[in-house]
Structure 1
Amino acid sequence: MPPRLNIPPVTRTILLVLTVQSLLNAAIRYRQWTSNSNIVIPYLVFVPQLSIVYPWTLLTTTFVENNVFTLAISAATIFHGGRYLERAWSSAELAKFVAIVSVIPTVLSFATLVTFFTLTGNEGWTLTVIAGTVSLQISLLVAFSQLVPAHTVTLFRGILSLRVPRFPILYICAVAVLAMTPLMTSASFFLATYGFLTSWTYLRFYKRVFPDLDSSQPTSLRGDASETFALAEFFPGPVKPVVASLSTAVFDVLVSLRICTPFSQAEISAARGDNNFIQRTAPGGARAEAERRRALALKALDQRLQAAASNSAARSQPTSSTPPPPREPTGPTVQTQPGASTQTAMTTQPTAMLGETNYTPDNEGMDKGSA
């Protein structure tokens, strides 16, 4: 009997909706297909010029794929990524995350296409289909980069090794190339870019993080102030200084506009691991969070181990160099004392001992004199 797949509820629902909507989209397009027509379904996928009267398409369009190739990749990504994050975060947190990274990139892509139409007058921009799980897939990669920033993936038997934070940028590059082919629309590149920025912004500044039950932290915190999750960490080394200075300038502007708030001292301390802060999540979340914190705590842990080893060596040094004092000689034990000595001690009168007092009653002395 084959093993039963254990898929959490939110991940299972997303896979079901993706499969049903993609098959429905394919069936409708097949029935209406002609050689001279480009069929779109504005009540299922989002088309800027046609879907304004169908507001639910801002969410449903994310779970529609137009071909078998992208559908297979989407299903595999959601199956593995969704299961991992749902067990690490909880079902409610994953559902909230999926809704955010589905709707906001679609709205931003819609605004971008309308802007291009305004600038160029080309109506083709407003007829571009905004659909697919591109924004969701790259958001899952960003979430993995937060949970396991130090993890390295080895490809082609060790020929290529990449850290997890490099994958979102590589994904955007791959989507930019595929957008030039019939496999993806030109809007896919905008979905990938806005999905990356939306998911990183939410995880960096807004996602609630709860302390572990054994922690002394009284309240929940928001965001992730760790240095390993900075925006510049997703880019190659030569580009990091430029991205860091640019992101800092944008953040300062957002703070001045009161859109974002600076991190508190408690959040910075939690990110550095100064107060043993661990996120309280569903089973398995503590392990994932601990793996993320491990990259930040390796240096401090090494210093503590060295200090403990030196203190232990200092305590054991005089003990090992100084010989133990000689033991005082003791009398024979009960087992080694001869039986004759024991019998003599029981039948003879005890000898006088130092400090012993002999008491003789007066009547006994008078009886002896008269005798």
Structure 2
Amino acid sequence: MPPRLNIPPVTRIVLAVLGLQSLSSILVQRARPGVVIEWLTLVPQLSLFYPWTFLTTTLAEQNLTSLIIAGVTLFNGGRYLERAWSSKEFAKFLLVVSLIPNFLCFLLLITIFTFTRNEDWTLTIINGTIPLQISFLVAFSQLVPAHTVTLFRGVLSLRVPRFPLIYIGLIIAANLTPWISGSSLPLAIFGFLTSWTYLRYYKIVFPDLDSPQPASMRGDASETFAFSEFFPAPVKPFVAAFADQVFTILIAMRLCTPFSQADISAAQGNNFHQRSAPGGVRAEAERRRALALKVLDQRLHAATSSPATRSQPTPPTQPIGPAVQAQPQPNVQAAMTSEPSTMLGETHYNPDHDSGEKDDS
């Protein structure tokens, strides 16, 4: 029998809704080309009387290619984040990064129509999982900020926080073709800003059970999740200065709360990990396990490659009574050293630093 896929409940529901709505939309489009489903997808001029479309339009793709990409993204990213955060927190995250980008994109199109009087902007379809896809990349940047992805057999190495901007670049390139809607780029940008703001300032996180920190905290004050960390090193100072000014304005408007010294210490300390389930601790445990395996591997290699340095065994104590001729024992040490040391295998461990990139500091 094939192995059973263990899909968490929220991810399972999202995948089912995505398949149902997208297939329905694709079938309607093929039967009646050019028809807009205003009760399923968000269209500024037509969907005002269907407020639920601000949510349903996120899980409605218009073609099979985008549906396959969305399904793979939600299947893999949803399983990882839901197990790391819990189903409740993952569901809240999906609601935030779906509703807010769709609403902001809706306001943007209405504003452009107000100044241009071009009705094409109000007939632009706002749909697709683009906000979810880039939000998953932002979430991975928070959970594993120091991990590096190697592509093309080591030719290109990129840290995880680089992927959101790369994704936006791909959307810009695809926006020059008729494959995606004109609302895709605003959705990607708003999804990026919304997910980072929510994870940075609002999402509830929990420390380890043995941590002296409070039972729960909001946001992520760590330097590794600062907004400037998503950008290349040459522009980091400018982005950081601009982000500080925006943050000051949000504090003055009482939309954000400044981090206390206790929050910063908790986020940067060893006893606190950005998670609300076993997510951050799992990454730390993997790093420690890799380091322990490396040390063990070095010791085993040293033990097998230098047998002469090992201490001689203590001669056995002569037993009392008649002597018994001992049966000759095989040379165990020679057998161990006769095999090449590569039989033990080798564990590679890469410390948390920018592989293939310059240091961000």
TM-score, normalised to structure 1, is 0.75
Q: Give a deviation string over 1:230-257, Cα, whole Å, max 9, x none.
A: 0011011111111111000111111112
Corresponding position of 1:69 = 65
Distance in 1 between the 2:226 and 2:204 partners?
17
Describe the shift of the 1:183–1:157 C-alpha distance in structure 2 as closer, same or farther (beyond 3 A). Answer: same
Q: Deviations over 1:48-89 (max 9, x none)?
A: 000010000000000011111111111111111100001100
- Match of residue 100 from structure 1: 96
Opposite residue 132 of structure 1, the aligned amino acid is: G
Q: Secondary structure at the match of 1:2?
A: coil
Classify the secondary structure of the residue corresponding to 1:125.
coil
- Structure 1 residue aligned with 2:224: 228
8 A Cα contact 2:134 2:167, kept in partner:
yes
Closer/same/farther in 2, CA of residues 248 and 289 from structure 1, 3 Å limit: farther
- Report matched runs for 1:1-371 at 5 Å: 1-33=1-33, 38-273=34-269, 276-278=271-273, 281-284=276-279, 286-288=281-283
Distance in 1 between residues matched to 2:157 and 2:30, nearest whole Å: 43
Q: Is the Cα–Cα contact under 8 Å of residues 97 and 135 in structure 2 kept in the other structure?
A: yes
| 3-state SS in 2 of match to 1:154 | strand
Contact 1:213/1:280 (<8 A) preserved: no
Quote the Cα distance in structure 2 between the aligned partners of 1:117 and 1:164: 37
Q: Quick one: distance in 2 between partners of 1:288 and 1:65?
A: 33
SS of aligned partner of 1:124: coil
Return the alpha-carbon distance in structure 2 between the equivalents of residues 176 and 281 of structure 1.
34
1:282 shift after superposition: 3.5
Match of 2:76, as an amino acid? H
- Quote the Cα distance in structure 2 between the aligned partners of 1:151 and 1:69: 29
Give me the whole-angstrom Cα distance separating, in 2, the residues matched to 1:77 and 1:203. 20
Contact 2:274-2:280 within 8 A present in 1 as well: yes
Identify if the C-alpha distance between structure 1 residues 289 and 147 changes in structure 2 by more than 3 Å, giving closer, same or farther.
Answer: farther
Query: Aligned partners of 2:96 and 2:275: how far apart in 1?
Result: 22
Q: What is the CA RMSD across the aligned residues, in angstroms?
A: 1.8
Q: Structure 2: how far apart are the matches of 1:91 and 1:184?
A: 31
Classify the secondary structure of the residue corresponding to 1:165: helix
Larger radius of gyration: 1
Deviation at 1:283, TM superposition (A): 4.5
Query: Does structure 2 conserve the Cα–Cα contact (< 8 Å) formed by 1:176 and 1:189?
Result: yes
CA contact (8 A) 1:18 1:63 kept: yes
Maintained 8 Å contact 2:206/2:277: no
Deviation at 1:279, TM superposition (A): 5.2
Q: Distance in 1 between matches of 2:286 and 2:247?
A: 28
Residue type at the aligned position of 2:272: F
CA pair 285-246 structure 1, distance change in 2 beyond 3 A: closer
Q: C-alpha distance in 1, partners of 2:100/2:263?
A: 26
Secondary structure, counterpart of 1:161 in structure 2: strand
Closer/same/farther in 2, CA of residues 278 and 229 from structure 1, 3 Å limit: closer
Gaps of at least 5 residues in structure 2 are 292-319, 321-361
The one-letter amino acid paired with 2:75 is F
User: Which residue identity is paired with 2:157?
Assistant: S
Separation of aligned partners in 1, 2:284 and 2:220: 12
Partners of 1:67 and 1:58 in 2: CA distance: 20
Quick check: 1:70–1:183 contact (8 Å CA) kept in 2?
Answer: no
SS in 1 for 2:103: helix
Q: Higher helix proportion, which one?
A: 1
| Residues 225 and 267 in structure 1, CA contact (< 8 A), matched pair in contact too | yes
Q: Structure 1 residue 191: deviation in Å?
A: 0.3
Q: Indicate conservation of the 8 Å contact 2:138/2:196, yes or no.
A: yes
CA distance in 1, matches of 2:173, 2:43: 22
Residues 267, 274 of structure 2: 8 Å contact kept: no
Q: CA offset at residue 289 of structure 1?
A: 6.3
Whole-Å separation in 1 of the counterparts to 2:152 and 2:126 = 34
Distance 1:145 1:279, change over 3 A: closer
* 1:105-150 Cα distance to aligned partner (Å, 9 max, x none): 0000001111111111111000000000000000000000000000
Structure 1: which 5+ runs fail to align? 299-334, 336-371
Provide Cα deviations, 1:307-339, integer angstroms capped at 9, x if missing partner: xxxxxxxxxxxxxxxxxxxxxxxxxxxx9xxxx
So what's the TM-score if we normalise by structure 2? Answer: 0.77
Aligned length: 290
